[in-house]
Amino acid sequence: MSNPVASIAPTLKVNQMFIQGRIEHVVKFEDKFEHIIVTPAPDAYSKPSLMRVNASSRLGQKGEEVKVLCVFNGWANNYQNKNNEPVKDVKGFFVAVE
């Protein structure tokens, strides 16, 4: 039996991945487009995942199915909680490889 991931994996670079799903929301923010993409649920008892994908051009219209090559990006917020303990909160998103 062939492994489809093994055939794709050698062509992907570190931190790259394909996201396939339906565009739920698109907004233009400054010089980029922010897309919310919902992916199919893995089974009948799971919920679908939502992912934010930024791109310099519009990937499609709301309701369209897309498959996008992306890299992961993000940042960390450092703050102290109500007990005065340090907290590092990581926010992440995807950027379309164009």
Indicate if the pLDDT at residue 49 is higher than 60.
yes
Q: What is the mean pLDDT of residues 4-28?
A: 82
Indicate if the pLDDT at residue 1 is higher than 50.
no
Residue 44, token pair as written in the block? 């009948």
pLDDT band at residue 21 using 50, 70 and 90 as cut-offs: very high
Residue 97: closest CA among 16, 27, 37? 16
Indicate if the pLDDT at residue 98 is higher than 70.
yes
Indicate if the pLDDT at residue 53 is higher than 90.
yes
Residues 6+ apart with CB under 8 A from 9: none
Q: What is the dihedral of CA 50, 55, 90, 10, to 10 degrees?
A: 90
* C-alpha 79: how far from chain center: 25
Predicted TM-score (pTM) of the model is 0.78
Q: How many CB atoms lie within 10 A of CB 23?
A: 20
Q: What is the mean pLDDT of residues 37-41?
A: 94
Q: What is the mean pLDDT of residues 32-50?
A: 94
